[in-house]
Structure 1
């Protein structure tokens, strides 16, 4: 399964080839839905909802190729709040952090989870960075942080197709154009190749690429 979102229950079920995996996934979603309807409980480091245990075990039961999708849907089905999302992110592996980032648009209405996006952008894990620059970042990162997120993609080789809302946010952004021109000059001076996406991104800002 591709890393693209959004996923649905049906598309994920179709991707799970083994009957045992499909049964496990169905039971996991049921656990998550049950937790969403349960009265709030006091968080404890010693207790976890059943769906959270399944969240951690998704790769083992559904395969690593499907784990991002399974975990993202579990978070959404459980209606995980910001406190839960933050805890799962802080204590999770990179494979568990990606679904938290992908679920943010569905679960957090305002900019309250920007700190998770910013943390992911400080890493050099390209899959984590790609998850961080999705729709939530497009909606809530301030211009300065968003520009640096785009540059981080160029630095690390993350395809700009991963950046949600790229054309809209880059349009007419003179400061981004300046940063990209400086970036290109530095790379050229160092004898390094320029990213294939750079010319396209400059064009989106309204700047005409000059012999990149």
Structure 2
């Protein structure tokens, strides 16, 4: 867990909540099965309000419990998978957010959390998708899976600044897919999310190959106007990775 989030949690908790969480961590450390009793109780005992960035108090406290699990590898993956499958959306979100933390704690965890990432990406809950596309997914999704995940975020209206790893993992093929998506939107007379353009503009020629610029000559007024707006955003974008 980010040390700033951990520090903020310690400052936020009441003395009673802090004692409860400390005791819960100790219980989980001695008996991993205890996590199934304390994990759902976190919101009631520690609070559910906002903490730092887009973390809640309950998120941070649950991440502490996951970090306290004295398990490794496949056994750890089985435990967190069970928590995810039996949890509500808030509990599922923090499991997804904590996958990188679990791998940092136990290198043998490796890519064992990928099924949970893929499951979240098959759904349409944008909060779960954002939680799934953290540093863990950026490390472990293959190229095709990562590109498809980014494209789905664009389809679902999830801002791309919530996707980890774009600076390193966005490539020409992803730019091509995004440019083709933009052309489809423009051809329907619809606007294009502005946050795709830095990724497209980083790869010269991709926009032209998509056929989108030709839409400025469309006989359909809505298509012409959508193309003009898209091209203006493209020209204004700073290419991904530019200093």
What is the TM-score with the length of structure 2 in the denominator? 0.71
Structure 2 unaligned regions, length at least 5: 51-56, 209-230, 235-243
Q: Hey, what does 1:6 align to over in structure 2?
A: 2
d(CA) in 2 for partners of 1:103 and 1:206?
37
How many Å apart are 1:196 and its aligned residue?
2.0
Q: Hey, what does 1:33 align to over in structure 2?
A: 26
d(CA) in 1 for partners of 2:30 and 2:134?
28
Q: Hey, what does 1:157 align to over in structure 2?
A: 157
Q: Deviations 1:151-180 (Å, cap 9, x if unpaired)?
A: 11111222211111110111xx12111101
How many Å apart are 1:101 and its aligned residue?
0.7
Q: Structure 1 pair 144/101, CA: closer, same or farther in 2 (3 Å)?
A: same
Q: Structure 1 pair 84/187, CA: closer, same or farther in 2 (3 Å)?
A: same
How many Å apart are 1:79 and its aligned residue?
4.5
Q: Hey, what does 2:89 align to over in structure 1?
A: 94
Q: Hey, what does 1:198 align to over in structure 2?
A: 196
Bigger radius of gyration, 1 or 2?
Answer: 2
How many Å apart are 1:184 and its aligned residue?
0.4
Structure 1 unaligned regions, length at least 5: 41-47
Q: Deviations 1:5-61 (Å, cap 9, x if unpaired)?
A: 625432112234xx3xx42244223322342245x7xxxxxxx41x43221122223
User: Does structure 1 conserve the Cα–Cα contact (< 8 Å) formed by 2:6 and 2:60?
Assistant: no
What is the aligned length?
A: 193
User: Does structure 1 conserve the Cα–Cα contact (< 8 Å) formed by 2:25 and 2:65?
Assistant: yes
Q: Hey, what does 2:216 align to over in structure 1?
A: none
Q: Hey, what does 1:67 align to over in structure 2?
A: 58
Q: Structure 1 pair 10/176, CA: closer, same or farther in 2 (3 Å)?
A: same
Q: Please say if 1:84 is aligned against 2:75.
A: no
User: Does structure 1 conserve the Cα–Cα contact (< 8 Å) formed by 2:49 and 2:58?
Assistant: yes
Q: CA RMSD in A?
A: 2.2
Q: Please say if 1:184 is aligned against 2:182.
A: yes
How many Å apart are 1:64 and its aligned residue?
4.3
d(CA) in 2 for partners of 1:26 and 1:195?
46
